[in-house]
């Protein structure tokens, strides 16, 4: 949520590149946008409620000159969406312009003091206290960097901030619990919340650590700690092509990313598993890495939480005690951990605030921590003891698709290593499971080529509600199917453990509530019994199953077919079919699929 972009270059060109960066950040979710450009005098600010197209309309008559500027996409926290609440925010004189992600927890107190000293505020935001505090330090004779640092010392909370002033030709920025990355190119620099913001211009990046303060000028940059000590951060090259972050001819990023799953899964699996020998090759975790682990706890949010449920189910079934916790609950009521506990944070971005908080609490309690993430250099990857990268490539659509599949496969591989290290044994099903994993990319492609999801979505698109059920390892798939459906279609959808349907939810079942039931070849007879319960109440049933299950075909009104595979892997295939149903249902309803209302791709506040 919220996005920062800054461009530092020559004498002009800032506006066009800032607008490109803002458009590249749209996937994070926003309700207003703005930018400030440093020209011959002070910062010139342009901002509007609504989409970036509204900001472009303001700039259409005259694009200001300038080679240095900052921009922002806002997702409302303090104050509703409005022109006044959009970023950048300025001080009383307009000499200081600020963009900010995160939350200033003590802003009420700071604002009251500033008002008492005669400052005038024009917004409802917590952000606006920052430029006014800088203004006071400048008035007392501080230079811009000192004024920036003195202001930071007064702030409590989680934030990333970028500042330009009338007084010099530089951008000052910092991060504390909110992501910020520096892009390095010939003759120009960029600062952003996420790499895709400036990927059109450079793929060389420097990941900033919490507390870093960076001063960036057209001729170079300087990074210091919160205490002012100079530090060096290495330049890394991001292995993403700008085209990877585009739509590639698809109507929506989500559809493109659903179709990228075969390639993403090949990347996830490449070099990591050998079905012929049953060996697992995780370079980060050679045999014996986890031999001291006695229990595993997964912490995650949303879609990543569902992937964590799959990972915990696999470990529990294999004899390793494992639980999955919602990170937001774990952070406020952490279960007991010790040095024999492995806490695995599953987070696509590596910047999810609740997950980071949970990992930090676990680490402070003596647990070993591990991040399963998509982003090299992310906060989770750098703060945890270890990291496993899912290698899914950039995902722009707010609704996670290919990253869920890659998370589940990554956790399956990690699970195999954990089982061997913790129990000293190898599952008798290992080779079959690894064979099924190696077949996944081709099987997913088969679904994409022959799915009937659009026809089924059209048949049921005017229903009152949608229920998703599954048992065991595919209960998380039912939960994920319902989450996808509700977040992009805005229709009511719920996921249940199949056996729980009769313990309450069955009261809601009618002939206008289709039930999507996931079958994997394991415990199918029990799930079929639950299907019959729904069928007896007149509910249409859509089964997700292989064509080998004849009895399912007899009781289902529709079947979304998946290739026959190992039961532990079938959930990934079933999930692809449910993703497609959700996509087509939302498309038929004309929803803004890539930018669902009130949601953001990267949730960086608790």
Domain of 566, CATH number, reads 3.40.50.10490
Q: Kind of pairing, strands 213-217 and 188-192? A: unpaired
pLDDT in tens, 380-392: 999 999 999 999 9
Q: Find the domain containing 528 and state its range.
A: 453-588
Instruction: Average the pLDDT over 120-147 and give the result.
Output: 95
DSSP 322-353: EEEEEHHHHTTSPPP--TTEEEEEEESSS--H
Q: Which position has the higher pLDDT, 162 or 430?
A: 162
- Answer whether residue 601 is part of any domain: no
- Answer whether residue 599 is part of any domain: no
- Domain match, 440 and 559 both: no
Instruction: Average the pLDDT over 459-475 and give the result.
Output: 94
129: confidence class by pLDDT, cuts 50, 70, 90: very high
| Residues present in the chain in total | 606
pLDDT in tens, 11-58: 778 899 999 999 888 766 688 899 999 877 779 999 999 989 899 988
Determine contact, residues 97/70, Cβ cutoff 8 Å: yes
- Answer whether residue 65 is part of any domain: yes
- Domain match, 438 and 466 both: no
Q: How does the average pLDDT of the chain come out, rounded?
A: 90
- Per-residue pLDDT for 377 more than 90? no
Catalytic residue among 402, 484, 595, 601: 601
Active site residue 38: no
Total structural domains within the chain: 3
* Residue 63 DSSP code: P
Catalytic residue among 2, 47, 256, 402: 2
Contacts of 592-597 spanning 24+ positions with Cβ under 8 A? 593/252, 593/254, 593/255, 593/397, 593/399, 593/488, 594/27, 594/252, 594/253, 594/254, 594/396, 594/397, 594/398, 595/26, 595/27, 595/29, 595/398, 596/398, 596/399, 596/487, 596/488, 596/490, 597/490
What percentage of the chain reaches a pLDDT higher than 70? Answer: 96
What pLDDT does 520 receive?
87
- Domain match, 267 and 337 both: yes
- Domain match, 342 and 476 both: no
- Answer whether residue 248 is part of any domain: no
241: confidence class by pLDDT, cuts 50, 70, 90: low
Query: Of 404, 420, 446, at which residue does a domain stop?
Result: 446
- Per-residue pLDDT for 605 more than 60? no
- Answer whether residue 550 is part of any domain: yes
Instruction: Average the pLDDT over 405-418 and give the result.
Output: 96
The helix/strand/coil state of 518 is: strand
64: confidence class by pLDDT, cuts 50, 70, 90: confident
- Answer whether residue 281 is part of any domain: yes
- Per-residue pLDDT for 552 more than 60? yes
- Domain match, 231 and 367 both: no
Q: Which position has the higher pLDDT, 396 or 93?
A: 93
- Per-residue pLDDT for 371 more than 90? yes
What pLDDT does 362 receive?
94
- Domain match, 379 and 282 both: yes
- Per-residue pLDDT for 163 more than 90? yes
- Answer whether residue 600 is part of any domain: no
What pLDDT does 248 receive?
64
Query: Of 212, 242, 272, at which residue does a domain stop?
Result: 242
- Domain match, 470 and 364 both: no
What pLDDT does 600 receive?
61
CA distances from 57 to 6, 47, 53, 62 (A): 21, 10, 6, 10
- Per-residue pLDDT for 112 more than 70? yes
The helix/strand/coil state of 308 is: helix
- Per-residue pLDDT for 340 more than 90? yes
Instruction: Average the pLDDT over 151-169 and give the result.
Output: 92
What pLDDT does 240 receive?
66
- Domain match, 566 and 500 both: yes
Determine contact, residues 324/302, Cβ cutoff 8 Å: no
- Domain match, 356 and 266 both: yes
Determine contact, residues 254/593, Cβ cutoff 8 Å: yes
- Domain match, 72 and 106 both: yes
Q: Which position has the higher pLDDT, 445 or 60?
A: 445
Instruction: Average the pLDDT over 217-241 and give the result.
Output: 87
Determine contact, residues 104/157, Cβ cutoff 8 Å: yes
What pLDDT does 378 receive?
86
Query: Of 397, 420, 446, at which residue does a domain stop?
Result: 446
- Answer whether residue 229 is part of any domain: yes
Active site residue 2: yes
What percentage of the chain reaches a pLDDT higher than 90? Answer: 64
Q: Which position has the higher pLDDT, 497 or 76?
A: 497
What pLDDT does 604 receive?
52
- Domain match, 210 and 117 both: yes
What pLDDT does 246 receive?
64
- Domain match, 438 and 463 both: no
């Amino acid at each position: 949520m919220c996005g920062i972009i800054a461009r530092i270059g020559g004498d002009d060109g800032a506006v066009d590149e800032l607008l490109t960066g803002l458009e590249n950040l749209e996937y994070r979710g926003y309700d207003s946008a703005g930018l400030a450009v440093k020209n011959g005098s002070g910062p010139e600010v342009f901002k509007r409620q609504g989409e970036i197209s509204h900001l472009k309309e303001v700039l259409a008559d005259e694009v200001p000159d300038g080679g240095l500027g900052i921009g922002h996409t806002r997702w409302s926290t303090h104050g509703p969406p409005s022109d006044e609440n959009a970023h950048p925010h300025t001080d009383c004189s307009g000499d200081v312009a600020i963009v900010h992600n995160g939350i200033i927890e003590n802003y009420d107190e700071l604002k009251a003091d500033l008002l008492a000293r005669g400052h005038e505020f024009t917004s409802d935001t917590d952000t606006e206290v920052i430029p006014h505090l800088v203004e006071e330090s400048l008035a007392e004779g501080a230079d811009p960097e000192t004024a920036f640092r003195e202001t930071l010392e007064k702030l409590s909370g989680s934030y990333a901030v970028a500042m330009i002033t009338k007084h010099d030709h530089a951008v000052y920025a910092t991060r504390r619990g909110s992501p910020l990355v520096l892009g390095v190119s010939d003759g120009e620099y960029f600062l952003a919340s996420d790499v895709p913001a400036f990927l059109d211009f450079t793929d060389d990046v420097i990941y900033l650590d919490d507390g870093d303060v960076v001063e960036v000028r057209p001729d170079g940059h300087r990074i210091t700690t919160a205490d002012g000590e100079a530090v060096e951060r290495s330049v890394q090259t991001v292995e993403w092509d700008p085209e990877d972050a585009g739509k590639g001819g698809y109507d929506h990023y989500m559809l493109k990313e659903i179709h990228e799953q075969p390639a993403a899964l090949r990347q996830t699996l490449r070099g990591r598993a050998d079905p012929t020998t049953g060996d697992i090759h995780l370079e980060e975790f050679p045999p014996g890495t986890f031999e001291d682990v006695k229990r595993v706890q997964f912490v995650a949010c949303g879609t990543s939480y569902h992937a964590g449920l799959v990972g915990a189910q696999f470990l529990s079934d294999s004899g390793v005690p494992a639980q999955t916790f919602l990170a937001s609950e774990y952070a406020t009521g952490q279960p007991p951990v010790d040095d024999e506990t492995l806490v695995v944070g599953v987070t696509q971005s590596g910047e999810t605030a609740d997950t980071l908080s949970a990992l930090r609490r676990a680490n402070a309690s003596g647990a070993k921590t591990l991040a399963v993430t998509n982003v090299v250099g992310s906060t989770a990857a750098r703060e945890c003891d270890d990291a496993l990268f899912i290698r899914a490539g950039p995902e722009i659509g707010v609704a996670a698709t290919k990253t869920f599949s890659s998370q589940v496969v990554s956790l399956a591989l990690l699970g195999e290593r954990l089982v061997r290290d913790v129990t000293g044994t190898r599952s008798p099903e290992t080779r079959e499971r690894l064979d099924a994993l190696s077949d996944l990319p081709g099987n997913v492609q088969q679904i994409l080529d022959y799915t009937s999801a659009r026809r089924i979505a059209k048949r049921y698109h005017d229903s009152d509600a949608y229920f998703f059920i599954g048992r065991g390892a595919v209960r998380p798939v039912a939960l994920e199917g319902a989450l996808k459906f509700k977040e992009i279609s805005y229709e009511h959808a719920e996921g249940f453990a199949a056996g729980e349907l009769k313990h309450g939810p069955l009261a809601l079942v009618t002939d206008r509530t289709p039930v999507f039931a996931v079958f994997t070849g394991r415990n199918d007879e029990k799930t079929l019994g639950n299907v019959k319960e729904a069928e007896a109440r007149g509910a249409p049933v859509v089964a997700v199953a292989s064509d080998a299950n004849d009895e399912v075909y007899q009781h289902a009104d529709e079947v979304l077919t998946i290739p026959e595979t190992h039961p532990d892997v079938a959930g990934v295939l079933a999930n692809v079919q449910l993703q497609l149903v959700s996509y087509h249902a939302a498309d038929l309803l004309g929803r803004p699929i890539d930018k669902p209302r009130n949601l953001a791709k990267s949730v960086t506040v608790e």
